[in-house]
Amino acid sequence: MGPRCLAAAVVVLLLLCAALAAALIYMQLSKEEEVCLTPGCIQTASVILSSMNSSVDPCDDFYEYACGEWIKGHPIPDDAPSVSNFENLGQDLEFALKELLEAKDPNGTVIDKNSAIYKAKQFYRLCLNESEIMDEWRKVFDEVVKMFGGWPSLGQHDPSMRIEKLYAIMVSKFKVDSLFKATVQPDDKNSERHVLLLDQPALNLFARDFYIAADNDERLAYMTLIRDVLVLLKADAQTATRDAAEVIEFETALANITMAEEQRHDIAELYTKMTLGQMTRELPYFNWKMFFNEVFADIKMKNGTDITFDDSTEVVVYGVEFLRRLDKLLPQFHSRKVTNYLSWCWFFKTMLRDLPDPFSLTIFKFYKSLNLLNVQKVRWHGCVTRINSLMPMATSSIYVKNHFDHEAKEQVEEMISLIMEAFTDLLESEDWLTSETKAFAKQKVQTMKQKIGYPDYLNDSGAVDQEYNSFIVYPGDYYRTKFKFYEMYQKDVLERIVQPVDRERWVAGAALVNAFYSPNTNEIIFPAGILQPVFYSKHFPSSMNFGGIGVVIGHEITHGFDDRGRLYDNMGNIRQWWDNITITKFEEKAKCIEDQYSNYMLKQIGLTINGKSTKGENIADNGGLKQAYKAWKRYEKSHPKPPRLPGVNLTHDQLFFLNYAQIWCGTMNDKEAVRKLRTSEHSPGPIRVKGPLSNSNDFAQAFSCPQGSPMNPYKKCRVW
């Protein structure tokens, strides 16, 4: 607990008193209205009151009204570029995992070294031991680089090592995606089976723009980072300077042939299925058959048979144009340069970010120059994040055992069915869908599956241990252990190529503050980590739960019907199940949202929102808010009237919208704001409040906003 927590505690205490006093006065004033004075209600009221600035007119700027005091009270911490209610939940979760991973086993427990929890704890311990890591890392590093055939910048290079083979090792053992992404996933046009998938690469510098735009700070900082790291790895200074420039040159050329994200929204257009034979003919430079066979060299079927591919093997490509350009780009670069680029990316992704000083100091300088942080982040954060992503079900199993309230699951199930009903009702009243398309849409929402909290098998520690059976901890050797974990994680993904799609499988762990819609399986997923305040609490009045997790539920359902999700049918296959007239109408409505958001400016930096790349999320926010509100009104009819919150002079309809807005309370520094606008599919917090509420007649009514006021404009957009 830092001094900030203490200060916060004092403030909360003061506010509690204030809330109580206000409540007492309030009760005098409105004798007929019941006020809730349970500790839960008082706590909730104090959080609400300490966040909002009630001297702002809600019809003027609802975000300021809801978040004004929160923002004053929460400066951006030194080790992050931003702060928000949402991000703070993630921090709390990290902290909870830290405690669990550090917990001592009670006296007398027999330690099962094959248990998943034991492995996760060992990994975490190894990750924290900086002196041990510094003693050991170079040995593992040298072994891996040798397996790669050398890293030219460091003076070794085996020219007979083919790029196909080198990259295949990186993909299968380190799940690298620096040249292109290669993986196994359900086929978008045959959702029962898995298929090989190729997609464009993940770039190290956030997004395409940061390479292409003329000399920007980010590029320069990145070049310095590469050079400094090469020197730390004992490259000579001249080589380091030359090779750093060459790595950027190649990476820039690669970035230049990728497609901008906003151009990649139409997955049906992006999707191409090719055979390996066809790829050999049309993309002759890179030997794709050799590549895939190398990736699967150590992967077997359940009965021990090798997995091999031939000319008839099908591959799904997202954006075949990228591969065509890559096939022309590669021969323009000497294999030394390409190998240097790949080695750098491998090192950056798998080692650099958790190597102690002097490496951590170098990367800190890089982050600092990008305004990502001002002080180094304490080491345990990264260790928690890594183990949570490498062994998600192990960390999830201890998380849910200690922090998940099983009552939440039942309540959320009830809310989901109400919100689905609301969606269906709204659908019924639409006049822009033909009856045929309407019937399909109804079927899609009715067959949508739901996953809430965590998968049942997490209760059975034997099943979790079995899942991580092949994960091996090497005592005293962090990177050897981590690399083994990477390899086993990736093996589990690659093995699926010969297995049918398992619709029971969770695509995400439970220890996450997020929610998902999966188009391939037509399902919505709400991990345990999001089922907590500010989204949900059993102590909240139900209006606030509907404004919180309720809107999230509606948001995820709506993703099934946004510009991307609408392309999939109820079984998760891309297929034209809409008639052309309805599609045209849909696109008009979506365009309205796109234009509306494109006109919103983030005042802080004077830049407008990219309405195109945020379109899907904005459609989901707008639809989610509307459906959740409708569901709340229905819920209200069949339940006793909830008492008021002490000292909060707001109706429950108003609380619904207030809680929705308060989820997005937050601030970012200017550089981060620019990055977010350029890279995120989500609109920034203030816009996520402004957009959906200005489109909502329900909101205008709840706060009696006059027509034409900033939060109740005449022109409104709506898709769902």
Ligand X SMILES: *[C@@H]1O[C@H](CO)[C@@H](O)[C@H](O)[C@H]1NC(C)=O
Residues that bind ligand X (CB under 6 A): 26, 29, 53, 55-56, 68-69, 72, 107, 129, 131-132, 212, 252-253, 256, 301, 303, 305, 406, 456, 459, 476, 580, 649
Of 190 and 252, CB closest to ligand X: 252
Q: Which of 94, 177, 523, 556 is catalytic?
A: 556
Q: Hey, what amino acid is at 606?
A: G
What's the min distance (Å) between Cβ of 513 and ligand X? Answer: 21
Of 169 and 658, CB closest to ligand X: 658
Please choose, from the candidates 159, 138, 139, the residue with its C-alpha nearest in 3D space to the C-alpha of residue 148. Answer: 159
Integer Rg of the chain from CA: 27
CA distances to 126, 127, 135, 376, 467 from 383, rounded to whole Å, are 9, 6, 18, 14, 21
CA dihedral of residues 460, 461, 466, 467 (deg, nearest 10)? 80
Question: In this chain, which stretch among 115-123, 244-252, 322-330, 610-618 interacts with Zn ion, using CB under 5 A?
Answer: 610-618
CB 440 within 8 A of CB 569: yes
C-alpha angle 324-329-333 in degrees, rounded to nearest 5? 155
CA distances to 41, 141, 294, 331, 540 from 38, rounded to whole Å, are 5, 58, 63, 71, 11
Q: Is the dihedral of CA 354, 358, 360, 363 positive or negative?
A: negative
Q: Hey, what amino acid is at 615?
A: K
Q: Which of 64, 136, 621, 672 is catalytic?
A: 621
CA-based max dimension of the chain? 86
What's the min distance (Å) between Cβ of 500 and ligand X? Answer: 11
Of 327 and 421, CB closest to ligand X: 327
What's the min distance (Å) between Cβ of 582 and ligand X? Answer: 11
Which among Zn ion, ligand X, none contacts residue 450 (Cβ within 5 to 8 A by kind)?
Answer: none
Render the burial of 304-320: b for 16+ CB within 10 Å, e for the rest.
Answer: eeebebeeebebbbbbb
C-alpha angle 647-648-654 in degrees, rounded to nearest 5? 170
What's the min distance (Å) between Cβ of 212 and ligand X? Answer: 6
What's the min distance (Å) between Cβ of 514 and Zn ion? Answer: 9
Of 153 and 622, CB closest to Zn ion: 622
What's the min distance (Å) between Cβ of 629 and Zn ion? Answer: 18
Q: Is the dihedral of CA 208, 352, 76, 215 positive or negative?
A: negative
Gap between the Cα atoms of 702 and 512, Å rounded: 33
Question: In this chain, which stretch among 70-78, 323-331, 339-347, 612-620 interacts with Zn ion, using CB under 5 A?
Answer: 612-620
- Return the H-helix or E-strand segment holding 446: helix 435-446
Of 29 and 160, CB closest to ligand X: 29
201 cis-preceded (ω within 30 degrees of 0): no
Which among ligand X, Zn ion, none contacts residue 439 (Cβ within 5 to 8 A by kind)?
Answer: none
* 498-503: long-range pairs with CB below 8 Å, 24+: 498/194, 498/301, 498/302, 498/307, 499/194, 500/192, 500/193, 500/194, 501/186, 501/191, 501/192, 501/193, 501/194, 503/449
What's the min distance (Å) between Cβ of 568 and ligand X? Answer: 17
The answer to whether residue 410 is catalytic is: no
What's the min distance (Å) between Cβ of 581 and ligand X? Answer: 9
Of 396 and 522, CB closest to ligand X: 396
Site for Zn ion (CB under 5 A): how many residues? Answer: 2
Which among ligand X, Zn ion, none contacts residue 72 (Cβ within 5 to 8 A by kind)?
Answer: ligand X
Of 431 and 456, CB closest to ligand X: 456
The answer to whether residue 556 is catalytic is: yes
Of 322 and 517, CB closest to ligand X: 322
Q: Hey, what amino acid is at 238?
A: Q
Question: In this chain, which stretch among 365-373, 391-399, 483-491, 615-623 interacts with Zn ion, using CB under 5 A?
Answer: 615-623
Chain residues binding Zn ion by CB under 5 A are 617, 620
Known catalytic residues are: 556, 621
